[in-house]
Amino acid sequence: MTARSVALPSNIWPPLIAALLLVGMWQGLASLTEGMFVFAGPVEVLGAIAGEGSLLLRSAGVTLQSAALGFAIGNGMAVVLAGLALALPRLERLISGLALVFFCLPFVATGPVLRVIFGVGEGPQVTLAALATYYTTYLCLLVGLRATPASWLDLVRSYGRGRFSELIHVRASASLPYFIAGLQIGAPAAFLGAMVGEFTGAERGLGVLSIRAMRGLEVDMTWAIATIAAAISAVAFWFFGWLGRRLGAGPPPLLLSPRREERKSLGFGALDLTLVVIAVLGLWIGLMQAFNLSPFFAKRPQDVLSFLVADAANRDVLLDAFWQTMSLTVPGYLAGLALGAGLAVVLVTQPRLAAAALPLAIALRSIPIVTTAPLFVLALGRGPAGTITIVAVMIFFPTLAACLEGMRRTPKAVLDLFATYAASPMQRLIHAQLPAMAPAFLASTRMAVPSALLAATTAEWLATGTGMGSLMALTASTSNYNLLWSAIMVLAVTASLLYALVRLLERHVLKTFASEQLAT
Amino acid sequence: MPDPLASRPPRVSCDGVEKTFWLGGDAIAAVGPLDVVFEPGKTTALVGPSGCGKSTLLRLIAGIETPSEGAITIGGATPAEVTKAAGLAFAFQDAALLPWLTVRQNVALAFKLARRAPDARRVSDLIDLVGLKQFADARPAELSGGMRQRAAIARCLVTEPGLLLLDEPFGAVDELTRTRLNAELPALWQERGTTTLLVTHSIAEAAALSDRILVFSPRPARIVGDFAGARHDPRARAGLIEAVAKALASEAELVS
């Protein structure tokens, strides 16, 4: 039937055939470009894995261990934060704001700083893995804990039970699907965090091997490492999906949709913003004092301020780098969003293709693209094209998966209605599927902001030698810590502000396109 | 210009219609075999146990599903041809309003889908008629279940189709409004002589609104009772209701 255009595949053949085609194309491309030191096909990758098997296995084990530890800590933090936000509704905006700012810290800079603090060992890897994980889980939990149908809560109250029973019996189980979804998104992110942590100068792990292979132009090895990282992430993503289904928690209604604002329609007010800024500064100073960090590398807000105010040259260096980075991030970000949503629209008008593509897109979105950044550097050189491509690819797969999923959730009754008027596929797309896609597209637009900056700065750091990424790498090695902390502040503030801006836009649009989702 | 297919009330005939769904490896017979003719301009109520396949029959006639066996003709054309000419309208059990459109836009959508220029005046008239004047610019999320169903009925009627398929259209409407709608709305399509198929759980409603009542067996849906309706004869309703209820009860016994 035409009405049910994007039903789930009834068997596994279409995605399997698509995957085989993809592997075939990969091998074909590799054969065509032989001698260019760019592509290594599946055969070469398998060869590299066989040749360096024990080293790769050991390194993957090290990285996986850091990722798992960080994953556990990050999700623990998310549960605590969400619990706090639920218990103290007045503080929710403050907690959410702080959580966002810490999530937006640029890994490229926090990595080296953490390296100085922790010294050798896996401290930075674990910390970055935790930082990469906690925010999405926190958001999912927050939506989940509030998604409880009011009638369930009334049921608990009708037995005279209090808020605690409410939490145990109702809210916890109602939020389980959301929690699982958070874990699912977080698992590949934790692996990414651990690998970026290793980029900062660990002794062992896949990240270390990856940098070494890229610098030595070992094409087969670089591809082998990226393949292993992708495979581990995909398995982790799949595992939590399976766990969710096992526990009877299907995918939640809509992921990461911001909840309805009871008091004001426009998100953050000036008061909330001031509170968050004060809290960030307080934590910044407080944590440094508490851990007794040396003022030589642990710069306080006042140091950053005087550094930026004292010398215009400092500001110019920072601003130059900032604009360089933004000039690569913004085109990549927009291209990734447009290509993801565009391909989703094309696929949805080709139902068979979409059935094959959805599982593939979901599998591919779990790949931590940043860990494959060395590949793009090999393929596209160290110019702006490479960085823009990394940013675009980083955003492309999550957007594609979210948009396909969003359109798949077009209410079936609405599609039936269109069938009773024999509506054309174009009418169906414009009047039903695109509006149904809007909330998912906007959610991924928002979540893509920090990822885009992460991808751009990582590429700059590893390869291009321009922009904030390179600046931060440079200042870390020349011990210009004032500049490093200024860069961290500028990037975190930029990411947080852009994120908040997109969320504002999202709320505005959601009010129209998904009022029923805001109402729940 | 509306197609002649669209404006004239059609005769609907089902010849040996069967529908089988496949769930995993199991065949589930939902409908039939069914041979029945619905006369043009008449209202037929379909009653039967829950889940017996009445809704599936409506979906087959609407061209949303295709029969596994047999054929359905609507005024001599296939359901697919009739839907292309916007010759039928379907009121879904859950209203199927688009959540991002207002009531007015939802009703006007029927014109767009029927590829006709929207008639703003007619849209407003129908919204008034179903009692949603004050909610014309509200979105579905702001309406009660019954109000949503009324908006859906307005959307069905606005294009003046020759065939109306109503699946529990008053299911979520409160008793008071239901009585009022039962008194006012049917006149709207019955005056024009629309062929109407009405699935309902209320035998009283079936008796009061229809020219004919068909009683269906539990799945697969087969016709086990065929009564003349009492639309024009209020005094005959009590007896009719009792007879239909009896036919339904004997079907229920067969199941247990």
pLDDT, tens digit, 9 for 90 and up, residues A313-324: 888 888 888 999
Nearest Cα to Cα of residue A180 among A227, A236, A106? A236
pLDDT at A123: 85
Band of the pLDDT at A506, cuts 50, 70, 90? confident
pLDDT at A211: 80
pLDDT at A265: 41
Distance CA A134, CA A131 (A): 6
Task: Note whether A376 and A393 are within 8 A (CB).
Answer: yes
Residue written as token pair 């792990």: A205
Tens of pLDDT, residues B183-208:
777 777 777 788 999 998 888 888 88
pLDDT at A318: 87
Asked if residue B40 is part of any domain, the answer here is yes
Shortest Cα–Cα distance, A75 to chain B (Å):
34
Task: Note whether B95 and B146 are within 8 A (CB).
Answer: no
- Of B135, B160, B185, the residue at which a domain comes to its end is B160
Asked if residue B115 is part of any domain, the answer here is yes
Shortest Cα–Cα distance, A511 to chain B (Å):
8
Within 13 Å, how many C-alpha atoms sit on residue A377's CB side?
Answer: 28
Which of residues B139 and A380 earns the better pLDDT score? Answer: B139
Task: Note whether A434 and A342 are within 8 A (CB).
Answer: no
Distance CA A185, CA A188 (A): 6
Same domain, B81 and B120: no
Band of the pLDDT at A251, cuts 50, 70, 90? low
pLDDT at A18: 74
Asked if residue B141 is part of any domain, the answer here is yes
Shortest Cα–Cα distance, A348 to chain B (Å):
19
**In A4-91, alpha helices (H):** 13-32, 42-51, 53-87
Task: Note whether B142 and B135 are within 8 A (CB).
Answer: yes
Q: What is the CATH number of the domain that holds B244?
A: 3.40.50.300
Same domain, B188 and B151: no
Distance CA B3, CA B10 (A): 13
CB atoms B90 and A420 under 8 Å = yes
Same domain, B38 and B104: no
Q: Is B83 on the interface with A (CB under 8 A)?
A: yes
Q: Provide the β-strand partners of residue B197.
A: B44, B165
- Of B160, B186, B210, the residue at which a domain comes to its end is B160
Tell me the Ramachandran region of residue A478: left when phi exceeds 0, alpha when psi lies from -120 to 50, beta otherwise: alpha
Q: Provide the β-strand partners of residue B226.
A: B214
Which residues does A contribute to its contact with B (CB < 8 Å)? 1, 3, 411, 413-414, 416-423, 427, 431-432, 435, 438, 512-516, 518-519
β B223-228/B212-216 pair status? antiparallel
- Mean pLDDT, residues A262-282: 69
Q: Is B137 on the interface with A (CB under 8 A)?
A: no
DSSP letter string, A132-164: HHHHHHHHHHHHHHH-S-HHHHHHHHHTT--HH
CB atoms A516 and B62 under 8 Å = no
Residues of B with CB below 8 A from A430's CB? none
**Number of domains forming the structure of chain B:** 2
- Residues 34-63 in B contacting A (C-alpha not used; CB under 8 Å): 59, 62-63
Run of H or E including A461: none
Question: What sign does the dihedral A276-A282-A123-A318 (CA atoms) show?
Answer: positive
Which of residues A464 and B200 earns the better pLDDT score? Answer: B200
Shortest Cα–Cα distance, B61 to chain A (Å):
10
pTM (2 decimals)? 0.77
CB atoms A416 and B89 under 8 Å = no
Beta-carbon contacts of B107 under 8 Å, excluding residues fewer than 6 positions away, are: B123, B126, B127, B151, B154, B155, B158
What does the block give as tokens for A175? 């939020």
* Residue B16 C-alpha from the chain's centroid: 21
Order of strands across the sheet that contains B195-199: B88-91, B163-167, B195-199, B43-47, B212-216, B223-228
Asked if residue B81 is part of any domain, the answer here is yes
Please state which of the ranges B19-28, B115-124, B134-143 shows the lowest mean pLDDT: B19-28
Please state which of the ranges A111-115, A207-211, A256-260, A383-387 shows the lowest mean pLDDT: A256-260
Band of the pLDDT at B254, cuts 50, 70, 90? low
B66, B86, B96 member nearest A414 (Cβ)? B96
pLDDT of B24 above 90: no
Which of residues A65 and A291 earns the better pLDDT score? Answer: A65
A423, A431, A516 member nearest B99 (Cβ)? A516
Band of the pLDDT at B127, cuts 50, 70, 90? very high
CB atoms B109 and A1 under 8 Å = no
β B195-199/B69-74 pair status? unpaired
Residue of A nearest to B114 (CA): A421
Task: Note whether B212 and B59 are within 8 A (CB).
Answer: no
Same domain, B52 and B179: yes
β B43-47/B195-199 pair status? parallel
Band of the pLDDT at A266, cuts 50, 70, 90? very low
Residues of A with CB below 8 A from B66's CB? 1
**Residue range of the domain that includes B104:** 99-160
B62, B86, B96 member nearest A413 (Cβ)? B96
Tens of pLDDT, residues A432-462:
888 888 888 888 888 888 888 888 888 888 7
- Mean pLDDT, residues A68-90: 89
pLDDT at B4: 47
Task: Note whether B149 and B170 are within 8 A (CB).
Answer: yes
Which domains, and CATH codes, for chain A? 35-252 (1.10.3720.10), 290-520 (1.10.3720.10)
Test the B interface: residue of A1, A11, A421, A441 with most B CBs within 10 Å? A421
Distance CA A346, CA A446 (A): 23
Asked if residue B93 is part of any domain, the answer here is no
Beta-carbon contacts of A115 under 8 Å, excluding residues fewer than 6 positions away, are: A124, A200, A201
Test the A interface: residue of B59, B100, B143, B163 with most A CBs within 10 Å? B100
- Mean pLDDT for chain B overall: 84
CA dist A173 → A149, A165, A179 (Å): 12, 12, 10
* Residue A331 C-alpha from the chain's centroid: 18
Please state which of the ranges A147-151, A218-222, B181-185 shows the lowest mean pLDDT: A147-151
Beta-carbon contacts of A204 under 8 Å, excluding residues fewer than 6 positions away, are: A58, A59, A62, A198
- Mean pLDDT, residues A15-27: 77
Same domain, B56 and B117: no
Task: Note whether A375 and A394 are within 8 A (CB).
Answer: no
Same domain, B19 and B41: yes
pLDDT at A55: 85
A411, A419, A518 member nearest B83 (Cβ)? A419
Residue of A nearest to B105 (CA): A431
Task: Note whether B151 and B110 are within 8 A (CB).
Answer: no
Asked if residue B92 is part of any domain, the answer here is no
β B88-91/B163-167 pair status? parallel
Same domain, B175 and B245: yes
Q: Provide the β-strand partners of residue B12.
A: B38, B74
Strands, E assignment, chain B: 12-23, 26-38, 43-47, 69-74, 88-91, 163-167, 195-199, 212-216, 223-228
Task: Note whether A442 and A425 are within 8 A (CB).
Answer: no
Tens of pLDDT, residues A322-377:
999 899 899 999 999 999 999 888 888 887 777 777 677 766 766 666 666 777 77
Task: Note whether B152 and B185 are within 8 A (CB).
Answer: no
pLDDT at A68: 93
Residue of A nearest to B143 (CA): A516
Task: Note whether B88 and B162 are within 8 A (CB).
Answer: yes
B90, B92, B100 member nearest A512 (Cβ)? B100
CB atoms A416 and B114 under 8 Å = no
Asked if residue B34 is part of any domain, the answer here is yes
Residue written as token pair 């004092």: A289
Residue written as token pair 């660990």: A202
Please state which of the ranges A2-6, B130-134, B214-218, B246-250 shows the lowest mean pLDDT: A2-6
- Of B133, B160, B187, the residue at which a domain comes to its end is B160
Give this complex's ipTM: 0.81
- Mean pLDDT, residues B75-98: 87
Share of chain A above pLDDT 70, in %: 82
Question: DSSP character for A372?
Answer: G
Tens of pLDDT, residues A275-294:
888 888 888 888 888 877 77
Beta-carbon contacts of B161 under 8 Å, excluding residues fewer than 6 positions away, are: B6, B86, B87, B88, B89, B194
pLDDT of A479 above 60: yes
Residues of B with CB below 8 A from A411's CB? 96, 99
Same domain, B132 and B173: no
Asked if residue B94 is part of any domain, the answer here is no
Same domain, B48 and B116: no
Nearest Cα to Cα of residue A417 among B138, B97, B101? B97
Test the B interface: residue of A1, A417, A510 with most B CBs within 10 Å? A417
Tens of pLDDT, residues B5-16:
556 788 999 999
Residues of B with CB below 8 A from A515's CB? 99-100, 139-142
Same domain, B217 and B230: yes
pLDDT at A71: 94
Q: Provide the β-strand partners of residue B90.
A: B165
Residues of B with CB below 8 A from A418's CB? 113
pLDDT at A261: 41
Within 13 Å, how many C-alpha atoms sit on residue A313's CB side?
Answer: 0
B89, B98, B100 member nearest A420 (Cβ)? B89
- Mean pLDDT for chain A overall: 79
Phi, psi of A36 (to 5 degrees): -95, 0
Tens of pLDDT, residues B52-82:
888 899 999 998 888 999 999 998 889 988 8
Same domain, B63 and B107: no
Same domain, B116 and B182: no
Distance CA A38, CA A41 (A): 10
**In A159-215, alpha helices (H):** 163-165, 172-199, 206-215
Q: Is A461 exposed, middle or buried (0-12, 13-18, 19+ CB in 10 A)?
A: buried
Distance CA A457, CA A517 (A): 35
CA dist A164 → A64, A363, A460, B54 (Å): 36, 38, 49, 46
CB atoms B65 and A1 under 8 Å = yes
Which of residues A222 and A193 earns the better pLDDT score? Answer: A193
pLDDT at B61: 92
Band of the pLDDT at A7, cuts 50, 70, 90? very low
Which of residues A155 and A408 earns the better pLDDT score? Answer: A408
CB atoms A427 and B113 under 8 Å = yes
